[in-house]
Amino acid sequence: MSPRASAALGEIIRRQRELSELSMRQFAELAGISNPYLSQIERGLRAPSQHVVDGIAQALHLSADALYEQAGMTPPGEEAEDNAVLDAIAADPRLTSRQRKALAEIYESFVASAPAGRRSS
């Protein structure tokens, strides 16, 4: 999981916890993790395992897939479809590593925000 994805997922978890009106300590206990670990997840410093995301989702009365979707991520285990655009960005020798990363992130953000009906076409 990229640092950007970890930060997005952590932010979603923090917002959901606050909407549930749970303290960090209460929520960590419900999710079955330590308070410091939850703090690191919410701040995007640690990427939670699928098992931890499942526990967090259960504590929030959501599915893990819903958390990933809200964070603009593909849930683990779902096959990422071949993507010619990302492949072309990665293969272009005219771009620096930094440019490749920036272009890929912009492209992925556009795809993630596209209406569901347009994503597959």
Tell me the pLDDT tens digit for each residue of 35-68: 999 999 999 999 899 899 999 999 999 999 888 8
Per-residue pLDDT for 78 more than 50?
yes
> What pLDDT band is residue 20 in, cutting at 50, 70 and 90?
very high
> What pLDDT band is residue 91 in, cutting at 50, 70 and 90?
confident
Determine the average pLDDT of the residues in 61-85. 77
Per-residue pLDDT for 121 more than 70?
no
Residue from 2, 13, 6, 79 nearest 48 by CA:
6
Which residue did the predictor score with more confidence, 14 or 74? 14
DSSP-assigned letters across all residues of 79-113 = PPPP-HHHHHHHH-TTS-HHHHHHHHHHHHHHHHH
CA distance 79 to 101: 21
Instruction: Specify the 3-state DSSP secondary structure of 120.
Output: coil
The pLDDT > 90 percentage for the chain reads 45
Per-residue pLDDT for 87 more than 90?
no
Instruction: Answer yes or no: pTM beyond 0.85.
Output: no
Instruction: Give every CB contact of residue 53 below 8 A, 6+ residues apart in sequence.
Output: 9, 64, 67, 68
Which residue did the predictor score with more confidence, 1 or 109? 109
